[in-house]
Structure 1
């Protein structure tokens, strides 16, 4: 497939246009519920895009519109140019074969083997047994389960069950793969293996992947683009790296603060003051990325300005494959020193946020 950065933004795989979804009241006297409220968003072809938000933000409702499991109250949903909202019967079944789906709880049939679970969509479509075998065995090998063809779901781990679900979703040669909280029931190590598999599928098959999740760690690890949902709306979106680097909306900031290494450690929080007393230090969070990621800039800060700099906490990581780091430092809060430090940060390209003062 083409390198994602070379893919034009005007080549959409999935488009939401003014999408609203209202559910009627279930009991007399109650008001209905608006799950989605004017969603406009485009998923470019060939990307792994994340939709993230808290429970109740509207993520799962949004994804159910893509394969026609729900119809929007207003607006359109386009999959590769086809308006899903206008489809029914055979045309809708054809569309669903082009949209693979993997689920949080696997949805495997306990009475069928790994092979038979993966083969089920093709059996339903009436494909001959010999053609099914030729199609399914390479898929099972791709997800690393070629030695489990004849095993039943009860004999598999959670990660292996999810791999079966992924192979089944690929059986109909979809152009779009939907993942609805597919890693939420898995431990961190298994989650990483599943995300690595999805990245391999995206790279080798050129498959567009839409990840629905409430976990920022999943977004950080697997996606190149992200949209943040809150209250049935998309409140922020962009390249994953840009959103992580400079989150604009309060919901995004809160979600990011829950990730290890992004917020202040508790022992520092207890000491932070809003205004300095004589002799206090300024507490500053530095963000390293791009050309600044591997430069000894704190050492330069200490040397050029003659500062005594205390390192309070820090992490080094990557986002969507790009290096990224956070470092919290403390130095004299004297106004002259603060101005010199700000000039240094501006000159070197460091993102610096003054977060308070400490003794």
Structure 2
């Protein structure tokens, strides 16, 4: 649906006209049709620049941006306006007109396109119902909550029947409960309308909850990409691992972390991170581990969750670092397929 081919974007200094900042550095990536793809990274990683290239708000310094078979950067303004009608956009701060009602805000792109009032009504009313605002049709933005404003923004983005929906930090101004509601709405839109969604965010929880595929950005480059479940359960790049550590259960409690040493000493305890997924997710493997070891297993921290709809759990456990015990544990992990990693030792 969207392809970035060796895309570089450099912004020049206004004072000197010379190159000042490379926001994107030789990015090559394809967003597949019909799925929700997340682009994640810290502030300044290049995420928003990437999405602005898709709808032609920025043009690449090098490379091509292909949207549904069209090279966006090669279009003149007239042709670009036509392409933009096939691309919906939802924003972090809603961008609603305060003087227009819910209905009128959603209808605005169709009015600009010259559609007649009755055709607009036929298009808009089902969308307002889809986003759950049919009882708020005549309300103004000042009368709406943040979540309701974002629902208006989503309905407006869908008004032109786009093939692609861009979401740039659309949930970062919302509280956690409202965020989950908006993400649920995006999943419904993706499922029911078959819409391709490109979601830009710095929030790992958002990516975990709603995307099927993810690309991780750092310093203007895509440093890791793939199925969301695969990237989250087996991160390869340090940026990905660092961002995943912010998730609940993603890292050790501080009081334990301060005690961890790198190498074992006589009588110390081994500290391990166990990852449960696939066939291991719903099996009583920890209780079986204790039986096999014949030694106590102390549960330090953990969480059980879903990533892209697939069950996944992380558990930090500690047990004797005696070599005989460690060998039994390694054999158990090999037999069961349980992912285990020694993260250190506690004296």
Asked if TM exceeds 0.5, the reply is yes
Query: Partner of 2:40 in structure 1?
Result: 52
Q: What is the CA deviation profile of residues 64-96 of structure 1, one whole-angstrom value per residue up to 9, with x for unaligned ones? A: 000000000011111111111111222111100
The reply to whether residue 130 of structure 1 matches residue 118 of structure 2 is: yes
Q: 2:136 aligns with which of 141, 148, 152?
A: 148
What count of residue pairs does the alignment treat as equivalent? 347
Query: Partner of 2:221 in structure 1?
Result: 233
Q: How does 1:1-359 map to 2 (within 5 A)?
A: 13-28=1-16, 31-359=19-347
* Unaligned 5+ runs, structure 2: none
* Range with bigger deviation, 203-212 or 346-355: 346-355
- Indicate if the aligned counterparts of 2:270 and 2:344 stay in contact, CA closer than 8 A: yes
3-state DSSP class of the match of 2:324?
Answer: helix
3-state DSSP class of the match of 2:260?
Answer: coil
The CA RMSD measured in Å over matched residues stands at 1.0
In structure 2, how many angstroms separate the alpha carbons of the residues matched to 1:172 and 1:307?
Answer: 64
3-state DSSP class of the match of 1:70?
Answer: coil
- Indicate if the aligned counterparts of 2:85 and 2:162 stay in contact, CA closer than 8 A: yes
* Unaligned 5+ runs, structure 1: 1-12
**Alignment TM-score, normalising by the size of structure 1:** 0.95
1:29 shift after superposition: 9.0
Q: What is the CA deviation profile of residues 286-336 of structure 1, one whole-angstrom value per residue up to 9, with x for unaligned ones? A: 000010000011111111221211111110000000000001110110122
In structure 2, how many angstroms separate the alpha carbons of the residues matched to 1:164 and 1:27?
Answer: 40
3-state DSSP class of the match of 2:261?
Answer: coil
1:215 shift after superposition: 0.4
3-state DSSP class of the match of 2:84?
Answer: helix
Q: What is the CA deviation profile of residues 266-289 of structure 1, one whole-angstrom value per residue up to 9, with x for unaligned ones? A: 121122111222211100000000
3-state DSSP class of the match of 1:185?
Answer: coil
* Range with bigger deviation, 267-276 or 283-292: 267-276
